[in-house]
Amino acid sequence: MEISKKNAFVEFIKKFWVYLIVGVVVFAVALTFTLLATLNNAKPTSISNLEFGLPMNNASIIKDFSDTELQENETLNQWEAHLSIDLASDSNEVFSVLDGTVASVSYDFLNGYTVTIDHADGFQSIYSSLDENVLVKEGDKVSAGQQIGNASDSAQGELDLGSHLHFTLLLNDNHVDPNTYLNLQEK
């Protein structure tokens, strides 16, 4: 009796092995996507050791962060996700939001003069549309609240906004809404 049960199982495997393999692969792929989606949506549980400053004093948000709704870029005449915030202030002074190290100082036509700063816990802040007189260089250590430059209209991709700071915040190389971390009370 036991021999026939074993033979039936072996015969089943021989007959349907392809379907079993495909089923296992589909299950593995589905599990992988589920885990990746969960990890990408995870919020940091504690940022208590980081105190974010503001990139500009007395600034107004002239274009807010949006990763779900498209916003019109009048300069480029196109609709796009806006994974940054654009700030304007009468003083135009731009400050580092956290202690960190300047990763790069660069210029390109669309973004203007840009300073990228690496911070603790996987954060990176990016300050674009600065004027040409950037006050830091690659490798400099900066403190929260230290002036790194002045906002301007050097970002040709957003000329319609005038003189402003295009501020981007990354966490582990993913765009995050700066409103979540910065105390921007007035919008």
Of residues 126 and 32, more confidence is placed in 126
Q: Residue 72: CB partners within 8 Å, gap ≥ 6?
A: 78, 79
Determine the pLDDT at residue 13: 73
Whether the pLDDT of residue 158 is over 70: the answer is yes
Q: How far is CA 76 from CA 70, 80, 157, in A?
A: 14, 10, 6
Of residues 86 and 45, more confidence is placed in 86
Other beta carbons within 10 Å of 134:
19
Whether the pLDDT of residue 44 is over 60: the answer is no
Whether the pLDDT of residue 1 is over 80: the answer is no
Residue 71 identity: Q
Q: How far is CA 64 from CA 15, 34, 118, 143, 162, in A?
A: 59, 30, 23, 26, 15
The domains of the chain are located at: 1-42, 60-180
Instruction: Indicate the range of 36-45, 80-89, 108-117, 170-179 predicted with least confidence.
Output: 36-45
Task: Compute the mean pLDDT over every residue in the chain, rounded to the nearest whole number.
Answer: 85
Whether the pLDDT of residue 48 is over 60: the answer is no
CATH assignment, 60-180: 2.70.70.10
Q: What percent of the chain has pLDDT over 90?
A: 47
Q: Using one digit for the tens of pLDDT, what is the confidence trace for 70-117?
A: 777 787 777 878 899 999 999 999 999 999 999 999 999 989 999 999
* Distance separating alpha carbons of residues 155 and 145, to the nearest angstrom: 23
